[in-house]
Amino acid sequence: MKNHSPVTRRNSQPRSELWWQQRFDAHCVKHQQPLPKEKQPQIVFLGDSIIHRWEDEGIDAWMTYFATKHCVNLGYGGDCTEHMLWRLKNGELGNLHPQWFCVLAGTNNAGHFDDSPQSIASGVQSIVEQLKVLRPSARIVLNAIFPRSKAPNQRLRIRVEQTNLLLKALCDEKQVFWLNMSAQFLTKDGVLEANVMSDFLHPNSPQYVKWGEQIERLINDND
């Protein structure tokens, strides 16, 4: 499937895989439980496999930076923006009322569907707008899509960078804050090396430490 329209990509929709449905159902059940204020998460993470992998490659960094703050991981490997939007619209937050959301979305729209930067940004904007509706007092860390492909002139890298220019414009630095980790991952020549992301997409464990540090710093600076 290629070149879906922006409207198609922004439409929320679920996925059919059993593991995905089970993860969503489990979250909905768990998050329906009422929580005292002191048990509410500081941050809810929303995204695709890169967020999901806080549970494996990123687990040490998660334990260091986020576990004691009751943070919640709503990452699903393979999710596109429309799947995240569907989850939000269909009750995954339940009774969670975080101070912050940390959002990373869009790389699968670029890689799986070859969506345009404008279409991807439109999908991410729909997520941001939905979060504002659902939790108007929460603030949002909007992450730039992580670099893809080894060289700076490769098609997916260019598409991601073009999309990030549009995503940055969604940030007002009052409720929605921009976090771009690209400089942490790339050489000075813009090369993405295999010892940073072995598949040129997913960060390894040390990169999660860098990311966790930057998330914590941004939040501390703006709390």
Give yes or no: 25 in active site. no
Give yes or no: 221 in active site. no
Q: What's the pLDDT score for residue 223?
A: 87
Distance CA 167, CA 216 (A): 21
Helix (H) or strand (E) holding 63: helix 59-65
Task: Please count the CA atoms within 13 angstroms of the CA of 49 that sit on its side-chain side.
Answer: 11
pLDDT exceeds 80 at position 3:
no
Give yes or no: 202 in active site. yes
pTM to 2 decimals? 0.94
pLDDT tens readout for residues 168-183: 999 999 999 999 999 9
Q: 16, 137, 189, 199: which is the annotated catalytic residue?
A: 199
pLDDT tens readout for residues 24-59: 999 999 999 999 999 999 999 999 999 999 999 999
Opening angle at CA 175, ends 170 and 111, nearest 5: 40
Q: 4, 52, 83, 202: which is the annotated catalytic residue?
A: 202
> What is the rounded average pLDDT of the residues 186-201?
97
- Lowest-confidence region among 7-16, 104-113, 134-143: 7-16
Report which residue type is found at 87.
R
Given CATH 3.40.50.1110, say whether it is the number of domain 6-222. yes
